[in-house]
Amino acid sequence: MERIEPTADQIKAVASPLRLRILRLCDHQEVTNKELADRLDRDPSTILHHVRLLEKAGLIESVGVRQGPSGAYEKPYRSTRLTRRLSFDLPQKDDEPLPMLDAFNDELAEAGHQSIAQLTTFHLHLEEEDVARFIERYLGVLEEFVGEDDDRRENGAPEYGGIVVLHRMASEDS
């Protein structure tokens, strides 16, 4: 899958762990502002602010208006799945937050430790070409499963999330 450079609005949109959680919730289902607020335990007006930023950035879209269970009209949103193609740079300073890690921690806290299917840490000695090969193979496996995901979702398979962070270890001489 070809990666594309994000716009300023898209960079701003993914700079918040809360907005990343909203994106994930909208990824496989249509979700209203109220449903998001209830799920994330936030005020609906706060969620609406974040939803509008995500919509302006083209990362989620409204799917029209529907009548909800109470008879009121509601506006559901879904992900455009554009974030799967965007290439984001890391913060330049070590003291800047990594919203993706914060959002993942929030999701894991919500799901609980019993939800973990696999937890592995590893240490490898890699040359730069090994790092590139590792990333290429990992992304290939991920893209294979992402490409088949709609079928599994339609068949009712449970949803899993994950994160892989490959980082260089701190050394005594650095």
pLDDT at 139: 87
Mean pLDDT computed over 69-85:
88
CB 22, CB 50: distance < 8 Å: yes
165 has a pLDDT exceeding 90? no
Q: Averaged over 27-45, what is the pLDDT?
A: 92
CATH architecture of the region 8-154:
Orthogonal Bundle (1.10)
Q: What is the pLDDT of residue 171?
A: 76
Q: What pLDDT shows up at residue 19?
A: 94
Split at pLDDT 50, 70, 90, the class of 91 is low
Question: Taking a C-beta distance cutoff of 8 angstroms, is the pair 60, 80 a contact?
Answer: yes
Structure tokens at 74: 């509601």
Highest mean predicted confidence (pLDDT) among 47-56, 89-98, 133-142? 47-56
Mean predicted lDDT score pLDDT of the chain? 88
Element (H, E) at 26: none
